[in-house]
Structures are given as structure tokens and as C-alpha cells.
Amino acid sequence: MRLRIWEKWKRIILLGTFFVLAIGIPWEIRAENATVTFGSNYYTATDNETFPIGVYLNGDSKIGTYEVKISYDNRRLEYTGGGDSEENGVITLSGTGVNAQVKYMLKFQTRSGGTADIKIESAVIHTAGENEEEFDVATLASTYVTISGEDTVGDAPQEESQETETEEENPVSDIPTVMEVSVEEQTYYLVDLSQYTPENIDFQYDTGTITYQGTEVAAYLSANGDISFVYLADSQKNLYLYAYSSEKDKLYPCNSITVNGEKYYFMSPYVCSEWPQELTLDIIQSESIVYAIDMEGQTGFYKITTGNKLETWNPNEGQENFQNQMKILIIILAVTLVIMLLAILLVIHMDKNKQRQDGRSVSGKTNNRIKTRKNKLKQGESETSSDINAADDFEIEDLALDISEEEIRAWRAELEQSDGDDNSPNKKNSDGQNAAEKYSNTAVPEERAGEEPVIAVKDVTMQFRIAMNNVSGIKEYVIQLLKKQISYRELLALDHVSFNVYKGEVVGIIGTNGSGKSTLLKIVSGALKPSSGEVQCDRRKVQLLTLGTGFDVELTAKENVYLNGAIIGYSKEFIDSKYDEIVRFAELEGFMEEKVKNFSSGMVSRLGFAIATIGETAEILILDEVLSVGDEFFRKKSLKRVQEMIHGGSTVLLVSHSMGTILENCDRVVWIEKGKMKMCGEPKRVCEAYQKMSEGK
């Protein structure tokens, strides 16, 4: 009954898990994106300096083939390497990626002072694999290098461009300026926007004035008037857009970025005097928050995401994301609960149908067998043992399907009366074993009469369920389970085994391979729980010694000493103190730093025996084939150690195929064959019977 309930709930759990996984799969398909960016928005360098600039290709998935072209100001910069090729001021990066990111470190040497622009002109990037597709490269970044020192670049030859002292003092005399300013240790000239309109201004603006360093100057204003802009000119008449902060009386550079075909200018958030209440310095740093203006003159707070993309910053985004995730989770849980409820109802319905069919079948068979037996009793015919056993297999719950309990009690009374006349001490049981011999198997030795056993094995049965289907994964298992194609076979490892072991006894256990000896030892030690019956002993005093438990062939012998010792129950301090003794006893000096996978089977066995027997002997010692170790010389040494352990006052259960070891060391022997206990008694008598059976095969 318990097995059927477990099978029912196991199917329900598997069905629920399957549907949860199915619902949790993200079905939304998105286009693959890639970006090409520089390591920084701007660089600074000195005259005649060599410096690097990082270029990064990032994709949503693994990058395949790619080709990126980068232009640079070859008048002020000299390219010295890092890319794949270069021609006429254009560097080409091409190749095939190995993961989702490709890195380049371009090297340049400055030729002249001034500002040198570097820009990604084009980028074609494909996904990896046979069906490669082109990434959507939405952002082509740009950067610039501010080079200190004299700017020697000009259209005229250098020897003809001698200027007077007056001209050197006014390098931008044809652009009206207000004053000379210093920004980031560079000298610029503040352009008078009331008299000069830059050609490269491309956003909508209004005109106004600001007071910078005590001087009132003309400025451009954003559409909502919250940001003021000015232009600065360098000595080469290059113009740069800056935003003004009235609170700090400071100019901040503006950088351009193009996202999905739309151009923005972004700058430090400090240019805005009014911040949202939710905006803090920590958020600015962690989420890369900037202030930006679009081409229509509209401003706002944005965050720079992966790949130098701009997204509008939403102060409630975190809370909204959490709420959306909770809604999705609630929906998934609700759908899952509905599906699991339907699955439970389906399983219950199927189980009831099966019970009805089984009930009809059992009812018919039971009625036929009861009627047959009753007729035999009325006619005075004797019953065979198979008839009695077959009738005894049914409980009242089974028989009560179609007949009353009064009838069952009356028939059982008749059976007991008739069976009582047939009982005899010499009558054979269904296995062909007489009662006297069966009793002798579990009889208490005369010298132990009245003494409590240290180990009491009482009617122990161990049954394993072994799957008949070779299932490769959970998907195939669920499919076969739904189709009811999962089947098992029952393996009876132990069949109603009973015996006692008393204090100080050495009891040997013999039997052919696969008879259940090791299974019995594991049940006694507590490693396994029997299907029925019980074992009474103080497991705190039990030590199970078996060779090679927990060995990892990829670890060294030294590492396995500590691993195996920890599994047995030794502390690290104990292993440290006994390490040299383990190595000497195993005769593995010089091999402890080698991996165990390179050892022979004999070396592994010697190491396992040395570890297993190094500890203090327990009160109850269980030895499982610990003497089948190494060569003849090592077996003698290991036998001597085992004899010291088993004759030190401990109660011992010893499994061995060596009859000599059993006869020499054991007080009693239990013979188990195919899960059943054949004999239990004196070692000589049991071993002789076992050898005769072996010779007769």
C-alpha cells in the first residue's frame, strides 16, 4: 500500500516539475546585438608620447567573423601597432572571435600637440556557428585625444608659418572670444556667441547669458532653459561644446553619442541644479547616470548601459521591475497549482479505476480458492502445504470483498483444527527443511544461555527494486512514466535471516558471490535499512572496515589517505599522526604524490587496508573481505594485523572466501546462500557443508 502511495505522489511531483520547467522557459526571441566601444570617452597625452587605446567588441552571444574600420588623425598621431592592418589613417580589425568579447589594444605615438579624433567608421560582426547571422551594431563610438605641447600641424609649410608675437598671443583672432580659460590643465578661449555662431551646432536652442568667473557672456540654452552651453576654441580653432554649472561656476565637457540613429550630447549630472529626490551619488556611480540633451533641445537624466547606449533613467524602475517580477511569479505559481491539481485528480481517477479492476480480479480468485478449500474439508480430503500457504497469503481485507467476516472466521477455525492434527516434529516445511534443523540454525549456544546478544539479527529481509528500463534523461523518464512504460524487477538480497552474536564472539559469514553477505554487513552497521525485520545492536560501537571506500582516482595517494580516513571517521589530527605509519605499512614510500589512477590494483588494496586498520579497534568490528589484499607477503602481514584486532576482545563479524581464515579465527559460522541462511553452527561442520555444495556445482 505504501509503495502505491509513493508511486502516486512521485508521478504527481514529476508532472508538476515538468510543467514548472516548461512554463519557466523564456519564449521571447530577441535580435542579437553587438557594440564596438573604446576604453574611455577621451584620452590625454604629451608630445612624443607612446600610449595605448583599447577597442572592445561585445556581443550578446559568441562572436564569429568581424571587420571593423577605425579612422584617426594621422597628422597628430602615428599608429604603431595593435590592429590587423592600417592604410591612410584607417585601421582595420578583422578576424574570428572565440567568445562573446574581442579585445584590441591599439598603440599610437603623438606627432603634434592639439586634439586628435578617433572614430569607428564601420563595423560588420557575425554570430558564430554554421548559421551565422549579422549582429545589430547600433552604436559606433568615437573618442578624442588631447595632446599637450605645440601644435605643428598646418596647411602651410612649417618654415613659412612664422608668426609675430602679437599673433601668438591671439591664435584665434578670426573667432571673437571673451577670455582665455583653463579646463583640465588645457588652455582654451571662450567664444563670444553673441558675435559668432559655430557651424557644427546641431541641436535646437535659445540664446541667453551666464556669469562665468565674474564675466557675463552669451550662451545657448536648452529648450526648457535648465542647461546653458558655451563653446571653447583651442589654438587650432577647433571648437568644443561645454555645459555650465551655475552652482559650481564650472564648465563640463559634452560628448556626443548616436543611439538608433538619434544623436545626443551627454554631460555630468552636476550641470543640472535640480536633482530628483531618488537620485544619489551612489546611484550616479553604480548606474552611470548622466545628463543629456537631444537634437530637439530636450534634456533629462539618462543611464549609460553596456555598449555605450543611453536609456532614460527611471527612478521607479527598480520598484516597477520588482512588481512585474512578482506578478509573473504569481501567475506562474497559480498556473502550476492548477496544473498540479488537475494532475492529482487525474492520478486519483486512474488509481481508482485500477483498484476496481484489481478488486474484481482478487475477488474472483479468492472466492474460487475458498470454495475449493471448503469442499475439500467437507469431503475429508487432506490439503497440501501449497494449498495452505496459498490460502494464508490472503488477509481479511482481501477476502471481505464478497463474503462476510463470520464465514471467514468459521473456515479458519476449521483449518486450524485440521492443521493441528497434522503437526509433527519431523514434518518438513515448504523448503524441504525439517523443523529441528531449522531451529538449530538460530539456537543459542549452551554456554551463552541466558546472555543478551550483542548483535541480534531478527527475521531480516532486504528487497531491492531494479528498473528494467534504460532511461537517458528526465524528459524520457516523464514520457515513459505517462505512458506507463516504467517497470521494475524485485531482487531479494536477503530472505528472513535470523541469528545472534554474543560478546567476544568471532562469527564468520560465508557464501558464494552475490548471496547477500556484504548487504547483511551494511544492514548491521546501519548503512542500509532492511525492508522488513530488524537488527538490534549499539551502532555507536560498530566499525565497518571495507577496502577502497571513497577513493578518487584523480587525487594523489596522499590526498586519498585524508579523504578515505575522513569517510571512515578519522579526524585530520589523527591522520596526521598516523600518516607515516600508513605509508610504511602499505609499502608505498615514494608513490604518495602519484595519482591513484596510475596504481595497480594491489597497490590500491594495500593503501585501503592500511587506512582501514590504522584506527583503534572498536567493540563491534565488521570486516568485509579485508584479507584479499596484495601479494603473498603482504597477505601474511595483513592477516597478522587482523588477528590482533579480532582477538583483542572485540565482537567480530568476518566475511571471507578463505576457509582457512574462517576455520582458524571464527567461533561460529553463518552460511548464506542466495539470500537465505542455509546453516549456522560450528565452523568445521558449516565449512564442510559449504565445500560439498561448491564441489557439487
Nine-digit cell at 633? Answer: 607477503
Q: In which residue are the cell numbers 572614430 written?
A: 119
Are the beta carbons of 518 and 576 closer than 8 angstroms? no
Cα dist from 95 to 66, 67, 87, 262, whole Å: 6, 7, 17, 30
Residue 103: Cβ within 10 Å count = 10
Tens of pLDDT, residue by residue over 520-563, are 988 888 888 899 999 988 877 877 777 656 678 888 989 888 88
Question: Three-state SS for 604?
Answer: helix
The two beta strands, 136-140 and 33-38, are parallel
CA angle 9, 14, 19 (to 5 degrees): 125
Are the beta carbons of 363 and 402 closer than 8 angstroms? yes
Are the beta carbons of 370 and 399 closer than 8 angstroms? yes
CA angle 407, 413, 418 (to 5 degrees): 130
Mean pLDDT of 61-65: 86
Nine-digit cell at 457? Answer: 539479527
Reported as half-sphere exposure (CB side, CA atoms, 13 A), residue 218 has a value of 13
What contacts 607, CB < 8 A, 6 or more positions away? 557, 560, 561, 582, 586, 588, 596, 599
What is the structure's pLDDT at 383? 44
Confidence of residue 2 (pLDDT cuts 50, 70, 90): very low
What is the structure's pLDDT at 54? 87
Tens of pLDDT, residue by residue over 159-202, are 433 443 444 455 767 788 888 888 767 788 888 988 888 887 88
Tens of pLDDT, residue by residue over 77-86, are 999 988 888 9
Are the beta carbons of 304 and 139 closer than 8 angstroms? no
Record: fold of 33-147: Immunoglobulin-like (2.60.40)
H, E, C per residue of 371-388: HHHHHHHHHCCCCCHHHH
For the residues of 566-581, what is the DSSP string, one character each? HHHT--HHHHHHHHHH
Cα separation of the two ends of the chain: 40
Is a pLDDT exceeding 60 seen at residue 29? no
60 vs 127: CA distance, rounded Å: 9
Are the beta carbons of 340 and 28 closer than 8 angstroms? no
Q: Is the dihedral of CA 190, 191, 193, 199 positive or negative?
A: negative
* CATH placement of domain 437-696: 3.40.50.300
Mean pLDDT of 38-62: 84
555 vs 662: CA distance, rounded Å: 35
Give the residues across from 228 on adjacent strands.
221, 244
Q: What order do you get walking across the sheet with 506-510 strand by strand?
A: 542-546, 620-624, 651-655, 506-510, 668-673, 676-681
Mean pLDDT of 278-295: 80
534 vs 507: CA distance, rounded Å: 19
What is the structure's pLDDT at 650? 80
Is a pLDDT exceeding 90 seen at residue 157? no
Smallest Cα–Cα separation from 186: which of 115, 129, 136? Answer: 115
For the residues of 131-172, what is the DSSP string, one character each? S--B-EEEEE-EEEEEE-S-----SS-GGG----HHHHH-TT
Residue ranges of the domains in the chain? 33-147, 165-315, 320-423, 437-696
What is the structure's pLDDT at 460? 92
pTM recorded for the entire structure:
0.40
Instruction: Of 288-302, 481-495, 525-539, give the lowest mean pLDDT range.
Output: 481-495
Nine-digit cell at 617? Answer: 579497534
What contacts 665, CB < 8 A, 6 or more positions away? 506, 508, 642, 643, 646, 647, 654
Cα dist from 224 to 202, 255, 272, 293, whole Å: 17, 20, 12, 11
Cα dist from 41 to 124, 143, 247, 569, whole Å: 22, 5, 25, 61
Smallest Cα–Cα separation from 266: which of 206, 310, 202, 222? Answer: 310
Smallest Cα–Cα separation from 623: which of 596, 650, 600? Answer: 650
Is a pLDDT exceeding 50 seen at residue 220? yes
Question: Three-state SS for 470?
Answer: coil
Nine-digit cell at 168? Answer: 601668438
Confidence of residue 10 (pLDDT cuts 50, 70, 90): low
What is the chain's mean pLDDT, rounded? 76
Smallest Cα–Cα separation from 451: which of 504, 507, 508? Answer: 504
203 vs 183: CA distance, rounded Å: 24
What is the structure's pLDDT at 367? 54
Confidence of residue 362 (pLDDT cuts 50, 70, 90): very low
Burial code (b: 16+ CB inside 10 Å, e: under 16) for 426-464 equals: eeeeeeeeeeeeeeebeeeeeeeeeeebbbebbebebee
Residue 307 has phi, psi (to 5 degrees) of 85, 20
239 vs 81: CA distance, rounded Å: 30
What is the structure's pLDDT at 533? 92
Please indicate whether the domains covering 33-147 and 437-696 agree at the CATH topology level.
no
Q: Is the dihedral of CA 683, 685, 686, 690 positive or negative?
A: positive
Is a pLDDT exceeding 60 seen at residue 674? yes
H, E, C per residue of 319-332: HHHHHHHHHHHHHH
Q: Is the dihedral of CA 266, 272, 277, 281 positive or negative?
A: positive
User: Length of the chain, please?
Assistant: 697
Smallest Cα–Cα separation from 16: which of 237, 304, 347, 323? Answer: 347
